[in-house]
Amino acid sequence: MSLPMPSAPIMGVITRGVVIPACPLALDGNRRLDQRHQKALIRYYCAADAGGVAVGVHTTQFEIREPGIDLFKPVLELAAATIEKESGKRNTPIVKIAGVCGRTRQAVAEAEFTSSLGYDVALVSLSALRDAAEADLLSHCVTLSKIIPLMGFYLQPAVGGRILPYSFWRKFVEIPNVVAVKIAPFNRYQTLDVVRAVAHAGVEDRVTLYTGNDDNIIVDLLTPYPVRTEEGWRILHIKGGLLGQWSVWTSKAVELLNEIHRVVDGNKENVQELLEKNVALTDANSVIFDAAHNFAGCIPGINEVLRRQGLMKYAHCLDPTATLAPGQSEELNRIYRDYPWLTDDAFVRQHLEEWLR
């Protein structure tokens, strides 16, 4: 049985390394889906030249799956249709990534549904199997791989992930239609576990590394990762990012990644400037993600930036208790004041009315 694979154009985008925003959820004043602003948000990502959009992930709020809320299917349908329409305006396709989570029965149902909508890849969360043995985790992933191509996901434990050792990643990346791994443990040691696994498996031409370490984005992307293998030394790179941080100020993120790619390809003139930008971006992320309160205000922080830009009408979360942390709004004001070059408010103002139509 042949496993499903993305089309050649889609694989080309993934392999190149691109900006993939983790799409938030736009809600109205009654905490119901705001279709107008949800569409506008996805149009913004496409117009900003993001290489893909990830939907049904942490920033989309896992509660969309809960009975009584039942927003998983409507949101995934709306996003797929909007991305397809916007793709026609570009020369390169936009990769559609669906978050798939839960125990195997739920995850299979989500994979089948998203595959039927034309999603290219499933980003697999293993949070629901936090106590499962490594062999059971791998069996779960193999089952999903028969339905849709996979992107692995190393999610930090602070927001529901689990420690996934080198031995897991070494076997996971050998699944033939794993096409990428999002590395997001917010931990340098665990990041290296994934890089080493890909190098030792010899699959770096098929499995593209993406950073999800929002606390260290630029350095992750600039760093060459030398790994000794049985065939000799290999130099790997993390080529793109699937990030909650890049769900805001996305057009600037695209400019930044293009600049990083030029440096990695040999133009070393801007390395010092990029290292300074890494400090600024980490500072901004610490505020947006509310690192001061163990990320409690992460999604409200993202939503607040989008609300200020007009891409959301409200910064609401499905959980009424999920709000900005004390002082977080004031800290956002500081970030805007100190790092105006990070923001793309002018780009949004120029096109917002068009995206809201």
Q: Residue 122: inside a domain, yes or no?
A: yes
Tell me whether residue 150 is exposed, middle or buried, using C-beta atoms within 10 angstroms of its C-beta: 0 to 12, 13 to 18, 19 or more. buried
Tell me whether residue 357 is exposed, middle or buried, using C-beta atoms within 10 angstroms of its C-beta: 0 to 12, 13 to 18, 19 or more. exposed
Tens digit of each residue's pLDDT (9 = 90 or more) over 286-338: 999 999 999 999 999 999 999 999 999 999 999 999 999 999 999 999 999 99
Q: Residue 57: inside a domain, yes or no?
A: yes
Low-confidence ranges of the chain (pLDDT < 50): none
What's this model's pTM, rounded to 2 decimal places?
0.97
Integer Cα distance of 118 and 96 in angstroms:
8
Q: Residue 336: inside a domain, yes or no?
A: no
Residue listed under structure tokens 């910064």: 315
At residue 204, what are phi and psi to the nearest 5 degrees?
-65, -20
- Residue 243 and residue 209 in contact, taking contact as beta carbons nearer than 8 Å: no
pLDDT score recorded for residue 1:
64
pLDDT score recorded for residue 160:
76
Tell me the residue range of the domain where 52 lies.
Answer: 8-250
Q: Residue 202: inside a domain, yes or no?
A: yes
CATH code of the domain containing 55:
3.20.20.70
Q: Tell me the residue type at 245.
A: Q
Q: How many Cα atoms sit within 13 Å of 356 on the Cβ side?
A: 14
Q: Residue 47: inside a domain, yes or no?
A: yes
Q: Residue 159: inside a domain, yes or no?
A: yes
Q: Residue 163: inside a domain, yes or no?
A: yes
- Total number of domains in the chain: 1
Q: Residue 138: inside a domain, yes or no?
A: yes
pLDDT score recorded for residue 162:
84
pLDDT score recorded for residue 158:
74
pLDDT score recorded for residue 274:
96
